[in-house]
A = this chain, B = another copy of it.
Amino acid sequence: MSKSYVNYGSCAAGKPGSTMEITGARFNLSPMSDDFKAIILGAIKQVDLSKVWSETDHISTVYRGKEEAVFDALKAAYVYAYKEGVHMSLEATISKGCPGDSDSDYTLELDNPKVNQEDTQSIDFPVIGKFALYPMGSDDYMATIAEVVNEGIDRGVVTGSGHYGTNLGGSVQDVFAYLEYVSKTVGSKVSHYVSQITLLCNVPKGDI
């Protein structure tokens, strides 16, 4: 039997596989409700995808394109899935410059990348969460992480840190603006970075 092994060939840090500066997001929405299917699919279908390449399968959804367009679509998917009183987690991986990437499966519209912003900017609610930043193939990655974490402290959306993550809190609009700043800043310093994000809304109060 022949197996389809992978071979990443001449991939190496510092040589992004895509030459077109494609940013990507792969994410999962998990509304903790019996009505999860309608909530997820309703939100996914409501997002204006004219500025990103998109694919949804049974595991997750991927958006690829310009950084501003990808963050715009990701925020839209999350805020459109928000339902009053429904606890929901968002898990998202943001990546740029992966050596294993290729110049395919993307949309790079240059004009008006934030096509969902007008409809999403007024949907606001508090979130808590965490993120972790992985600048790849860079030896002094901790300095880069410190810079963006300190900016988050200045903005009031970084609320602390724990093992394996930095805590986030604030309005969903402010937190998304910060996460986009993080990607932009780190992406300008290293050739490949990954940002891993968890956001939670309608978190039950009280003891655990």
Residues of A within 8 A of B (CB): 3-8, 11-14, 24, 26, 28, 30-34, 36-37, 41, 55-60, 62, 64, 87, 89, 91, 93, 95, 98-101, 105, 128-130, 132, 134, 136-143, 145-146, 149-150, 153-154, 161-165, 167, 194, 196, 198, 200, 203-204, 208
Contacts and interface: CB of A to CB of B under 8 A. Distances in A.
Given A33-B34, A139-B137, A93 B59 contact: no
Nearest to A200: B59
Q: How many copies of this kind of chain does the complex include? A: 2
A41 B153 CA distance: 31
Given A13-B139, A31-B32, A196-B196, 16 more contacts: A5-B153, A6-B150, A28-B89, A28-B91, A36-B87, A57-B162, A58-B128, A59-B128, A91-B91, A93-B164, A93-B165, A93-B196, A100-B142, A132-B194, A134-B194, A137-B141
18 contacts: A5-B153, A6-B153, A13-B140, A14-B139, A24-B163, A30-B32, A31-B32, A32-B33, A32-B36, A37-B87, A41-B208, A57-B162, A58-B208, A59-B128, A60-B165, A62-B164, A64-B163, A95-B164
Given A100-B142, A142-B12, A91 B137 contact: no
A41 B142 CA distance: 34
A182 to B, nearest CB: 14
Nearest to A147: B6
Contact of A30 (B13, B30, B59): B30
Contacts of A93: 132, 164-165, 196
A30 B32 CA distance: 6
B198 A8 contact: no
B153 A60 contact: no
Chain A interface SS verdict (over half): mixed
A143 B98 CA distance: 14
A152 B56 CA distance: 23
A89 B90 CA distance: 10
A154 B7 CA distance: 14
